[in-house]
Amino acid sequence: MTQIDPRVEEAVDTLPLSAITRRRLLSGAGLASAGLAASALLAACTSKKSTAAAAGVGAFAKTPKWRFVFVNHVTTNPFFVPTQYGAADASTLLGTTHQWTGSQNSIVPEMVNATNAAISAKADGIAISVIDTKAFKTPVDQALNAGIPVVSYNADGAVGNPGSSRLAYIGQDLFTSGVKLGERIVSLVSGGDVVGFIATPGTLNIQPRIDGAKKAIVSSGKPITFAEVASGALLPQENTTIDAYVTGHPNLKGIFAVDAGSTQTVGQIIAKHGLKSKGVAGGGFDLVPATLQAIKAGNLDFTIDQQPYLQGFLPVLYLFLYKLSGGLVSPPETNTGLLFVTKDNVDPYLTTKTRFEGSSTAQQVITRSGAIVHA
Amino acid sequence: MAEVEATLPARRRSLARRAADEFLRRREASILLVAIGLAAYFQVAKPVFLSRGNLVTLSQYVAPVAIIAAGEVLLLVSGEIDLSVGSVYTLAPFLMHYAIDYYHSPAIPAILLVLLVGALIGLINGLVTVALRVPSFVTTLGTLFAINGITLLTSHAYPAEIPASAAGIGRWLGRADWSELTWAVLIVALFHTVLTSTRWGLHTIAVGGNLVGASEAGVRVGRVKVANFMITSTLGALVGMLEAFRVNTIDPSAGGTEIMFAAVAASVIGGTALAGGSGTIIGAFIGALVLGTLRDGFNLIGISAEAFDLILGIAILGAMISNVHLARLRRAGRT
């Protein structure tokens, strides 16, 4: 009796038998073995049916309606609209719910309060944009102590210092994206004055980018003088700051930015002063509509896409799997990408309005055609 | 015998009614009822509301607003307002960081120095308002921007770390679970006593209620106002440091107008008249409690950010309307 169907063995395991009876049963000895085996198999089948009846989404076992809390630093910023759609879609897919909270203006104490409230409310998982290297250490530790899994998304402390003991980070590798920006700047500008605008210096979802850009420019050895300028968190303020700087520095060879608002504004100011015809290079981050228009019009050379939709979708998925597997499926570090959008591949972004870019609420299938752009 | 038995329940009833009357006669009563109602609602909706962990969180929503509101009530009662207190809040922990890390000051003198600078900013607000006769709304609007500019310039808009030598005292200044609430309760108790039971409080009310009358009666109205500006700014500096210690970072985007508006809202919800002459600091504390309960409770039951402002706005209006009408009933009962 070496060949025992694993399903039979499994079924037998469900019976409350001593080790000896079990062995006898499996070896076919004893009178009752056939009957017992049958009843066990029957039980296995019915229990299988009952799990199918009480099943959760897809092939998963039934789960409670888990609630995951996203703590964000700029809750009403348009950049995060696709992130919220991603979280909502994953929640619908998995039968969970999510809450979008935090601060409207990068106010760290408010974010800490929201995190603490999520811990008190016994949230089933928390995703935090860790924009400060110190403030989130204690709240994240407390959540983990309370058995609540925590991941970071979009921002993850500083280079070499995640700023919390979160299980994993889901977002762009910010420093690397800055290095890539710097390399692109070096390839576009041969030398002279270059400025990089940053909305709020020191905020850790953007500061590593400008640090990376500076490093790449310095290590290229080209005679580029790179100035880092704060442009402000609000769009009107960014517009006046960048306009004034560009007016005051007529010798600029390149104008770049590391956040969505500043990038959009750089495009507008380059257009306003007609700098493209003077050979001034421009570029930056993220996919707000004005930035895409500026790329199409040729005022910006490139922008970098970091897939904000995935930054909402994947944390929900990871937290769900962590809960479902009792912690066995631990969230992996995920780089949501570094895609350069240029005049060559900007069209689909402009011609389609999608949930994945935050420009539409509609659920739809977007069919693409033609070859996939590759190196 | 029979007579006694008959009057006893009647007397008991009148006692209960007298206690209820006594309670409702207090200005803070109506807003306290609103606060209790909200707490009861959130406790039913989410039974963890009254757990220890959440009460700590709730206290951290309430305490900073309550402390600044204590100062704002003094100013509002004396007929002025301070819009700049949130900027002082942001600057204060940076000043502490400069004093300790750049000028090698020990922690406690540095903290006292920051409080002194807070008082100095209040002095400037007060002197410009009183001596140069600029309305305080405009004076402090100016200092709001100016002080914020100083913070941004000196810090290069970059966050800083809590100085290592100050970390120990941080437990007493916001880091420990209940320390912010303890400060808030002490400060509210102190200034409530000042406002209700001292000559200073009487003068403050007189200045706001009838400026000419007060000055003709010999109250030094200028001095009263200037000192109240100094108290408010000092409290702003204190709260800025408490919050920096609590979240363990010094951030140039903390504070600002949000905390100031929360403090003014708490004062007004608590029954302080914007026009001056009347107000209560305990009421402002309960007002802060209502605001904090709303914020914390909404986070507990999981209301997302976009709906949050709408519901918070409606809740503030609802709390205010019921407060005003309960107050009307109270007055009706008194006459």
Structural domain contains residue B243: yes
Q: Does A339 touch chain B (CB under 8 A)?
A: no
Q: How far is residue A99's CA from residue A128's CA, in Å, rounded to a whole number?
A: 12
Residues A300 and A204 in one domain: yes
State residue B123's pLDDT score: 98
Q: Is the pLDDT of residue B159 over 50?
A: yes
State residue A297's pLDDT score: 93
Structural domain contains residue B3: no
- State the SS3 of chain B: CHHHHHHHHHHHHHHHHHHHHHHHHCCCHHHHHHHHHHHHHHHHHCCCCCCHHHHHHHHHHHHHHHHHHHHHHHHHHCCCCCCCHHHHHHHHHHHHHHHHHCCCCCHHHHHHHHHHHHHHHHHHHHHHHHCCCCCHHHHHHHHHHHHHHHHHHHHCCCCECCCHHHCCHHHCCCCCCCHHHHHHHHHHHHHHHHHHHCHHHHHHHHHHHCHHHHHHCCCCHHHHHHHHHHHHHHHHHHHHHHHHHHHCCECCCCCCHHHHHHHHHHHHHCCCCCCCCCCCHHHHHHHHHHHHHHHHHHHHHCCCHHHHHHHHHHHHHHHHHHHHHHHHHHHHHHC
Q: How far is residue A65's CA from residue A61's CA, in Å, rounded to a whole number?
A: 12
Q: With CB atoms and an 8 Å threshold, state whether A76 touches B243.
A: no
Residues 46-85 of A with CB under 8 A from B: 67, 69, 72, 75-76
Residues A105 and A23 in one domain: no
Q: Is the pLDDT of residue A310 over 80?
A: yes
Q: Is the pLDDT of residue B90 over 60?
A: yes
Expressed as residue numbers, the domain containing B59 is: 31-334
Could you give the percent of chain A with pLDDT greater than 70?
86
- Using CA atoms, how far residue A256 sits from A183, A217, A247, B176, B273, in Å, is 12, 13, 15, 44, 50
Lowest mean pLDDT of A165-179, A228-242, B154-168, name the range: A228-242
Q: Does B154 touch chain A (CB under 8 A)?
A: no
Q: What is the CATH number of the domain that holds B286?
A: 1.10.3470
Please check whether residue A77 is in contact with residue A205, taking contact to mean a CB–CB distance below 8 angstroms. no
Q: Summarize pLDDT for B272-316 with one digit per residue, the tens.
A: 877 788 889 999 999 999 989 988 888 888 777 767 778 778 877
Could you give the percent of chain B with pLDDT greater than 70?
91
Q: Is the pLDDT of residue A14 over 60?
A: no
Q: How far is residue A98's CA from residue A103's CA, in Å, rounded to a whole number?
A: 16
State residue A359's pLDDT score: 81
Q: Based on the structure, what is the number of domains in chain B?
A: 1
- Residue with the bigger pLDDT between B321 and B104: it is B104
Residues A195 and A257 in one domain: yes
Structural domain contains residue A240: yes
- Give one DSSP letter per residue of A260-327, joined into a string: HHHHHHHHHHHHHTT-GGGT-EEEEE---HHHHHHHHHTSSSEEEE--HHHHHHHHHHHHHHHHHTTT
Helices (H), A121-256: 137-145, 174-188, 207-220, 235-248
Residues A285 and A196 in one domain: yes
Mean of pLDDT values over A267-296: 92
Q: Summarize pLDDT for A140-179 with one digit per residue, the tens.
A: 999 999 999 999 999 998 888 899 999 999 999 889 999 9
Structural domain contains residue A62: no
Q: Does B57 touch chain A (CB under 8 A)?
A: yes
The ipTM (two decimal places) reads 0.72
Q: With CB atoms and an 8 Å threshold, state whether B53 touches A230.
A: no
Structural domain contains residue A365: no
Q: How far is residue A331's CA from residue A319's CA, in Å, rounded to a whole number?
A: 7
Residues A258 and A165 in one domain: no
**Disruptive mutation site among A81, A99, A133, A207 for chain B (greatest number of B CBs within 10 Å):** A99
State residue A350's pLDDT score: 86
Residues A25 and A75 in one domain: no
Mean of pLDDT values over B216-230: 94
Lowest mean pLDDT of A28-42, A76-90, B38-52, name the range: A28-42
Q: Does A303 touch chain B (CB under 8 A)?
A: no
Residues A315 and A346 in one domain: no
Q: Is the pLDDT of residue A59 over 60?
A: yes
- Using CA atoms, how far residue B166 sits from B102, B163, B184, B237, in Å, is 14, 5, 21, 16
Q: With CB atoms and an 8 Å threshold, state whether A107 touches B243.
A: no
Q: How many CB pairs under 8 A join A and B?
A: 112
Q: With CB atoms and an 8 Å threshold, state whether A118 touches B299.
A: yes
Q: Which residues of A touch B57 (CB under 8 A)?
A: 113, 116-117, 119-120
Residues A246 and A345 in one domain: yes
Structural domain contains residue B18: no
Q: Is the pLDDT of residue A308 over 70?
A: yes
- Residue with the bigger pLDDT between B175 and A1: it is B175
Could you give the percent of chain B with pLDDT greater than 90?
60
| Among chain B residues, CA nearest to A228 | B156
Q: Is the pLDDT of residue A125 over 90?
A: yes
Q: With CB atoms and an 8 Å threshold, state whether B304 touches A69.
A: no
**Disruptive mutation site among B59, B152, B249 for chain A (greatest number of A CBs within 10 Å):** B249
Q: Does A264 touch chain B (CB under 8 A)?
A: no
Structural domain contains residue B12: no
- Length of chain B, in residues: 335
- Provide the mean pLDDT of chain B: 88
Residues A288 and A193 in one domain: yes
Q: Summarize pLDDT for B24-61 with one digit per residue, the tens.
A: 667 778 788 889 999 999 999 988 899 988 899 899 99
Q: Does B295 touch chain A (CB under 8 A)?
A: yes
Expressed as residue numbers, the domain containing A39 is: 6-53
Residues A315 and A256 in one domain: no
| Among chain A residues, CA nearest to B308 | A101
Q: Provide the pLDDT confidence category of residue A30 given band limits of 50, 70 and 90.
A: very low
Structural domain contains residue B144: yes
Q: How far is residue B131's CA from residue B120's CA, in Å, rounded to a whole number?
A: 15
Q: What is the pTM of this model?
A: 0.75
Structural domain contains residue A368: no
Q: Based on the structure, what is the number of domains in chain A?
A: 3
Q: Which residues of A touch B306 (CB under 8 A)?
A: 75-76, 100
Lowest mean pLDDT of A203-212, A256-265, B6-15, name the range: B6-15
Please check whether residue B263 is in contact with residue B65, taking contact to mean a CB–CB distance below 8 angstroms. yes
**Disruptive mutation site among B50, B90, B253 for chain A (greatest number of A CBs within 10 Å):** B253
Q: Summarize pLDDT for B261-270 with one digit per residue, the tens.
A: 999 989 988 8
Q: Provide the pLDDT confidence category of residue A106 given band limits of 50, 70 and 90.
A: confident
Residues A232 and A100 in one domain: no
| Among chain A residues, CA nearest to B51 | A120
Residues A344 and A208 in one domain: yes
